[in-house]
Amino acid sequence: MKEDITASFIAQYKKTPDHCHFAPGRANIIGEHTDYNEGFVLPFALEKGIWFAGSVNNTSVISIKAKDTDEYTEIDLDTLQSQNDYSWAKYFIQVLLALPNKNIRGAEICFGGNLPIGAGISSSSAIACGFTYLLDKLNSLMLSPKELVDTAGLAEQNHGVKGGIMDPFCIFNGKKDKAILLDCRNDAAELLPLELKNHKFYLINTNVKHHLLDTDYNNRRKQCDLAVSYINQYIKPISALRDLQITNLIELQSKLDDDVFRIVSFVVQENNRVLLAKEALTNHNFTWLGTLMYESHDGLSQMYRVSCDELDWLVNYTFNHDHILGARMMGGGFGGCTINLVNGDLGEDFQEK
């Protein structure tokens, strides 16, 4: 893959790139829609991802070739306008906007990889992170690890989806054979060994593509923020849903509208599940881990309502298969992949069906 991007760069610009970097996609074992509620997540980086090759030049233009779609555009660094209105080019512009007062030089860039788009495995974050990292190297910006994460995260937010920190943090900090237990309140991260014994995670793509901007994602986030203000003002001092415990839910039930209570309960329960999942994973209790994943899906589908028929169907379909210990929708929802915890292999028969 790296060779393909380098070759494509050479074909486009007739020279070899000075830098070539990889931005992985991410999977998430459990902890969905908890990051922007300052809660816990348990993601890991994938081997699939996006490569970025680049060299600086003495112009005030960044030329970008998207290898996979064979598209090309130029971004003028003085106006931050792109010649063509490709959706990926908007991420590049947002990254540049998130780096004000930095002396960014003109450059030639080529990128591409093997991450399916809109599948809930962070293809857009990989673009924002990969470009941020490449700019850092090309211009010797010496951004700190936190600045890298925050720059890519801000670019994504300004692109429109008010996501949390999980994706950029995982993309920049993922390590081979490790999951990251991340506390999204203070970015405290613990690397947990992914010792799966005979087990594997499988991602199954519904092929229902989504762009989170067209979904209820931002709305859900707004509903959480409104719930926090209400609870804080009338019930209990909190600054995020993360501050609530399972035991608080009894008191809240009679004081919140049903819809708000459903959303709040899901976030509180999901946070709790992440901490239990850490225990299950570190004790190699895969049956327990799988049960937590099924519970997570049930909450995302019935309480938080960010699933879709195809995701629900795929999860329900695993129920009659004893070697599948758990399954749930992954990422923002409304389409994309399920993540499945499988004892042994999924089997050709299952994959065929």
Question: Residues with Cβ < 8 Å from 54, sequence gap 6 or more?
Answer: 9, 17, 18, 19, 20, 107, 108, 109, 110, 134, 137, 138
Report CA 80 to chain centroid distance, whole Å.
26
CB of 166 to ligand GLA, least distance (A): 5
Tell me phi and psi for residue 172, to 5 degrees: -80, -25
Q: How far apart are CA 52 and CA 65, in angstroms?
A: 10
Supply the Cα-derived Rg of the chain in whole angstroms. Answer: 21
| Annotation says 85 is catalytic | no
| Nearest residue (CB) to ligand GLA, 48 versus 137 | 48
- Nearest distance, CB of residue 315 and ligand GLA, angstroms: 16
Closest CB to ligand GLA among 126 and 325? 126
DSSP string, 164-227: -SHHHHHHHH--TTEEEEEETTTTEEEEEE---TTEEEEEEE------GGGTTHHHHHHHHHHH
CB of 283 to ligand GLA, least distance (A): 25
Residues in contact with ligand GLA by CB under 6 A are: 32-33, 35-36, 163-164, 166-167, 331-332
Least Cα distance to 34 among 212, 347, 271, 305 occurs for 271
Given strand 199-205, what is the order of strands in its sheet? Answer: 199-205, 337-343, 324-329
Residue nearest to ligand GLA (CB): 163
- As measured in angstroms, the least distance from the Cβ of 243 to ligand GLA is 18
Minimum Å gap between C-beta 60 and ligand GLA is: 32
Shortest distance, position 222 Cβ to ligand GLA, whole Å: 13
Nearer to ligand GLA, 4 or 187 (CB): 187
Q: Which of 136, 167, 243, 312 is catalytic?
A: 167
Q: Which is nearer to ligand GLA, 4 or 225 (CB)?
A: 225
Answer yes or no: are the C-beta atoms of 339 and 201 closer than 8 Å: yes
Going edge to edge, which strands form the sheet with 40-41? 40-41, 178-183, 188-193
State the Cα–Cα distance between residues 267 and 31, nearest whole angstrom: 9
The SS3 assignment for 279 reads helix
Residues 6+ apart with CB under 8 A from 258: none
C-beta closer to ligand GLA: residue 105 or 221 = 221
Instruction: Kindly tell me which of 35 and 312 has the beta carbon lying closer to ligand GLA.
Output: 35
Amino acid residing at 181: L
Return the active site residues.
Answer: 167
